[in-house]
Amino acid sequence: MEDYPLLNLFWTMLWFFLWVMWFFLLFKVITDVFRDHTLGGWGKAGWLIVVLLLPFLGVLVYLIARGHSMHERDRKQVEEQQSAFRSYVQRTAGSGGGPADELHKLSALKDKGDITQEEFDRAKAKILA
């Protein structure tokens, strides 16, 4: 460890993190190419070939040409995931159609005089069963 100075360790770590960031950016561009529904098959194939054969130039050109729409596709995907999650939670948790809600409706009907006490008791027993 004595022959590897602290500055060399710093440069090694810097290059390592730059490579990690580079691969992250490369994979982000490749996934964006496949996620874009406005591009046809040949457009996707063309961008993929350019990005894989000339990676630095291809990623740079892609970010310049389509970087703004990349952000829009990210935002749209997040919104779709959030709405899917919300609908899943609503379906799973129920939208207030549980026994307590039905008992409350029955009580309101009984209070208004629309149903009798014995009808209320039968409906209540049916709900709680």
Q: How far apart are CA 68 and CA 62, in angstroms?
A: 10
Q: Give tens-digit pLDDT for 47-98.
A: 999 999 999 999 999 999 988 889 898 999 999 999 999 988 887 776 556 7
**Six-digit token string for 101:** 């809600």
DSSP assigned state of 1: -
**pTM to 2 decimals?**
0.59
Q: How far apart are CA 25 and CA 66, in angstroms?
A: 14
